[in-house]
Amino acid sequence: MTSNDFPILRLKKNEERRIYSGHLWAFSNEFVEVPKNIAAGSIVKIVRDLDERFVAFGFYNPHSLIAARILSRDPVEQIDTDFFRRRLVAAADRRALLLSSRNSARIVHSESDLLPGLVIDKFDDAIAFQISSAGFEVRKDELIALIEELWKPRAIVEKNATHTRTLEGLEQIERLVKGDSAEALITDSAGSKFTSDILTGQKTGFYLDQMENRTELRRYVKPGMKVLDLFSNDGGFAINLAAAGAASVIAVDSSVPALKRLKLNASANRVAEKITTVARDCFDFLQEQTEALDMIVVDPPSLVKSKRDLPQAVRSYQSLNQHALRLVAPEGVLFTASCSHHMSRDLLAEVIQEAARKSRRTVTVLEERGAGIDHPILVGMPETAYLHAFVLRVL
């Protein structure tokens, strides 16, 4: 099928403006009609209803609020296997310099790499992919063939068990597509090593978005520091801070398997004697503590699955930060983060301000940080700026 043969969808008056500005979603209520006879995952040609002027090509899903995900605004673009191959190569090439200093990175970041609904993470010689659009779901075999062709990985893992797939009407599935093992050895730019089973690990197997923040936070460590790492997972922050000179690190997580992996990683990095693990709900643990600490890391999983969860999430983030600020010693450091696009940078700043007021602490911002450079932000699409973090000095 050529681009001229794609089914046509018509946008209501003025609904094309956001797409022209660089946003890559068109919602079901923006179209004159949402046909049910066009299969989910089909490529469609989007035009203005007023004059049938071309707007874009996109993936279509009649079962989702996001009815179309934009692929190209070039009217003569041919959307075929070679199109996707070029997009994949371009995305990976953007990470080439980063991968010269570490062996793992996100090499495709969905809309930000103009591949809507597709994430690909490279863990040394293993590849994990995650699909959140019907367009790539129906092209899964084609995608796997391209991954094999372009990177020839030892292992390929499908990590398709996410909330966003439910919204797209897609089934939940995690499987080892290629290889005998989904285990990978991950190294960051500071030389820390982490062993992860990609198939059973969270998200795509390992939290790559905080990798740069973990190594950059080392600069605030002074010898003898006492550190608390909340929601520690595999130990990315705990191990880096211990290796940077902290005297002791308490790593808290509710997941016993995650803490088991943390202990193995700590031993591999020769900092096991500095790290104490606690299997506990982080909210409960934090509220019960009284000992002052020199640095606290608050890096919870997303607390906002949808917009309706935002009020409760704001209360949860405020509680976490209020109790953390209460415990930070004078001149100490708090690193606090949120990984939901519903929690904007400004809203997180307001949460911190209110937490400081309630804990009667004065804080200054040393740095504002986000996801690593392998997780770029698409300027026309604020949803891609999902991770916000502050490094705070507590006075």
Backbone angles phi, psi at 19, to 5 degrees: -65, -40
User: With the C-alpha atoms ordered 19, 24, 25, 26, is the resulting torsion angle positive or negative?
Assistant: positive
The amino acid occupying position 354 is: E
Active-site annotation holds for 282: no
Contact by Cβ (8 Å): 84, 108:
no
Closest by Cα among 144, 10, 6, 156 to 81: 144
Q: Give the residue ranges of DSSP H helices in the chain.
A: 17-20, 81-93, 134-137, 140-151, 163-167, 211-216, 236-243, 256-268, 282-288, 310-327, 345-359
Contact by Cβ (8 Å): 68, 9:
yes
Catalytic residue among 55, 228, 339, 394: 339
**Rounded Cα–Cα distance for residues 299 and 303 (Å):** 11
Backbone angles phi, psi at 342, to 5 degrees: -70, -25
Residues 6+ positions from 241 with CB-CB distance below 8 Å: 217, 218, 221, 225, 227, 229, 249, 295, 297
**Rounded Cα–Cα distance for residues 108 and 114 (Å):** 9
CB atoms < 10 A from the CB of 344, how many? Answer: 16
Strands 328-338, 104-109: pairing kind: unpaired
Contact by Cβ (8 Å): 69, 113:
no
**Rounded Cα–Cα distance for residues 141 and 153 (Å):** 16
**Rounded Cα–Cα distance for residues 103 and 172 (Å):** 28
Give the number of residues written for the chain: 395
Which residues does the annotation mark as catalytic? 339
